[in-house]
Chains A and B, each alone.
Chain A
């Protein structure tokens, strides 16, 4: 006989940097169900964005998430440039390459960060310390190129804010050269270590069908054998003109997700090197005056997957509607199948394996004050509104 135990994790728990709340329902060692409760990070950014000038919104969306702080503004400026006629038509060539460099540097720092945290979760604090040690030179590059370690403020509508100086290019290349053996070392360390293999292989499997059902994106999808990457499928930046590969694994377990992230770092280093070699001369931004009425979308492959922004403009200097869909929103839901059936001790690494970013994912839910029970989402609110209209109609007639 086993009985169900509910184990709460969070909202403030040493496992997580961010506040989020899991309830694991256990029978013995086995996890039978999971509840994910979020909302501790909700800041109402979509609504705030409607009260800001188009140029200010780029700074606002940068602060959706500290790790993808070039992906969100990139997707946003792509959406606005979509209204203006597309990135290729508006943005000077040099700016496109600089954008690509910043985007890929961000991918390296994000994957190193995840690798460190994953090592920490399975009890390999050495991996954590090493990964974050090699992350520091990347942050130094950011400080040199953009002026800040995080929150780069690099992207603006029509270009970039800062140029990459000619004398900085050898420094960037040298730092990347030093990073290559480190990434190789991680690849060897993860693939050859029997304990890491035992902890990660066959754990938290997301099959190809489940990946499609849950619409996961990014490395989580590529680990399950789905060959998808926005950088190739809907090219932005300079990716269509560069030589790089998409890494796809078949097994769908955490080991595959780890291998994909490590190999993607090597691809990112290759992409940055090519960009620096091809960096054309010229202006770094175009003079964009007014945003005409219209709608635009921007899609960017963030380190965690596809990041989507939608902008509606009515010809004033503020967006009328700004819709954001961050990659973790799709990936976090797949924890439901990945965690259930596994053991409790594997739950932490499985929950972390999709590289969840709750800052990006936060949504608001309205709770009725009288009962405290009914949680309403957008559809319920629409229904409530429709009911009210029906009631008013009935009363008027």
Chain B
């Protein structure tokens, strides 16, 4: 296994990008950090700059104004960087697919490693998604 990829499986630092979401996924992500779920036990935390991040957690339906910023953020992220699509909007644009302000879905813009569907996914689902991601990296 690639050493740099292996390093990703411990204490993942996450940068959160909201590309036109309704706030629900963002709140549930913050909820994961609060006492009931408390993923900080495993060293997972939100970081302020994408240059510190191991993973990109993307929510929202990709509107035209945020897509250029999303691309830029992905370019700035240190590689290897895993991308998690959180919520059905990020997975498939859901009911906003036909809107005039929507661009391409997330996986046509940047490569996505894990999809977490749900509107919004429960914190348990988000944690389960991260566990699957870690398993996938270890198995690789």
Q: Which residues of A does B touch, CB under 8 Å?
A: 11-14, 17-19, 39-45, 47-48, 51, 59-60, 63-67, 69, 113, 116, 128-129, 132-133, 136, 149-151, 357, 359, 364
Determine which of A39, A48, A113 lies in contact with B27 in the assembled complex, contact meaning CB atoms within 8 Å.
A113
Taking a contact as CB atoms under 8 Å apart, the answer to whether A359 and B22 are in contact is yes
Taking a contact as CB atoms under 8 Å apart, the answer to whether A12 and B73 are in contact is yes
Contact status of A17 and B23, CB under 8 A, knowing A12-B17, A150-B28, A151-B119? yes
Interface residues of B in 13-33 (CB under 8 A from A): 16-28, 30-31
**Residue of A12, A18, A40, A48 contacting most chain B CB atoms (<10 Å):** A12
- Across the interface, name the chain B residue whose C-beta is closest to A20: B18
Which residues of chain B have C-beta atoms less than 8 A from A150's C-beta? 24, 27-28, 120
1/0 per residue, CB under 8 A from A, across B88-105: the answer is 000000011011111000
Which residues of chain B have C-beta atoms less than 8 A from A151's C-beta? 24, 119-120
Which residues of chain B have C-beta atoms less than 8 A from A133's C-beta? 34-36
- Across the interface, name the chain B residue whose C-beta is closest to A59: B95
Taking a contact as CB atoms under 8 Å apart, the answer to whether B96 and A17 are in contact is no
Taking a contact as CB atoms under 8 Å apart, the answer to whether B26 and A18 are in contact is yes
Taking a contact as CB atoms under 8 Å apart, the answer to whether A41 and B35 are in contact is no
**Residue of A66, A128, A129 contacting most chain B CB atoms (<10 Å):** A66
A to B CB contacts below 8 Å, 14 in the list: A12-B69, A14-B49, A17-B18, A18-B26, A40-B18, A43-B20, A43-B96, A45-B99, A48-B98, A64-B22, A66-B24, A67-B24, A69-B22, A132-B30
Taking a contact as CB atoms under 8 Å apart, the answer to whether B95 and A18 are in contact is no
The total of Cβ contacts below 8 Å across the A-B interface reads 118
Taking a contact as CB atoms under 8 Å apart, the answer to whether B23 and A132 are in contact is no
- Across the interface, name the chain A residue whose C-beta is closest to B66: A40
**Bound CA span A58–B25, Å:** 19
Contact status of A48 and B99, CB under 8 A, knowing A12-B73, A129-B35, A133-B36? yes
**Bound CA span A18–B48, Å:** 14
B65 within 8 A of A: yes
Taking a contact as CB atoms under 8 Å apart, the answer to whether A42 and B63 are in contact is yes
Contact status of A42 and B20, CB under 8 A, knowing A48-B96, A66-B25, A66-B120? yes
Determine which of A18, A19, A67, A136 lies in contact with B36 in the assembled complex, contact meaning CB atoms within 8 Å.
A136
B61 within 8 A of A: yes
> How far in angstroms is the closest Cβ of chain A from B105?
14
Which residues of chain A have C-beta atoms less than 8 A from B122's C-beta? 149
> How far in angstroms is the closest Cβ of chain A from B91?
14
Taking a contact as CB atoms under 8 Å apart, the answer to whether B27 and A44 are in contact is no
Which residues of chain B have C-beta atoms less than 8 A from A47's C-beta? 99-100
**Bound CA span A13–B69, Å:** 12
Which residues of chain B have C-beta atoms less than 8 A from A357's C-beta? 23
Which residues of chain B have C-beta atoms less than 8 A from A39's C-beta? 65
Taking a contact as CB atoms under 8 Å apart, the answer to whether B63 and A40 are in contact is yes
Contact status of A65 and B18, CB under 8 A, knowing A14-B48, A39-B65, A133-B36? no
- Across the interface, name the chain A residue whose C-beta is closest to B64: A42
B47 within 8 A of A: yes
- Across the interface, name the chain A residue whose C-beta is closest to B123: A149
**Bound CA span A357–B23, Å:** 9
- Across the interface, name the chain A residue whose C-beta is closest to B17: A12
> How far in angstroms is the closest Cβ of chain B from A106?
12
Which residues of chain B have C-beta atoms less than 8 A from A65's C-beta? 22-23
Instruction: Identify the 6 closest CB pairs spanning chains A and B, nearest first.
Output: A66-B24, A14-B48, A66-B23, A132-B34, A44-B99, A17-B26
- Across the interface, name the chain A residue whose C-beta is closest to B70: A12
Taking a contact as CB atoms under 8 Å apart, the answer to whether A48 and B95 are in contact is yes
**Residue of A14, A63, A129 contacting most chain B CB atoms (<10 Å):** A63
> How far in angstroms is the closest Cβ of chain A from B22?
5
1/0 per residue, CB under 8 A from A, across B72-99: the answer is 0100000000000000000000011011
Sample of 20 further A-B pairs with CB below 8 A, known A18-B21, A66-B21: A14-B48, A17-B23, A17-B26, A18-B23, A19-B18, A40-B19, A41-B60, A43-B96, A44-B102, A48-B96, A65-B22, A66-B24, A67-B23, A113-B27, A116-B34, A132-B35, A149-B28, A150-B27, A357-B23, A359-B22
Determine which of B25, B34, B49, B63 lies in contact with A43 in the assembled complex, contact meaning CB atoms within 8 Å.
B63
**Bound CA span A44–B28, Å:** 24
Contact status of A44 and B26, CB under 8 A, knowing A63-B119, A151-B120, A359-B21? no
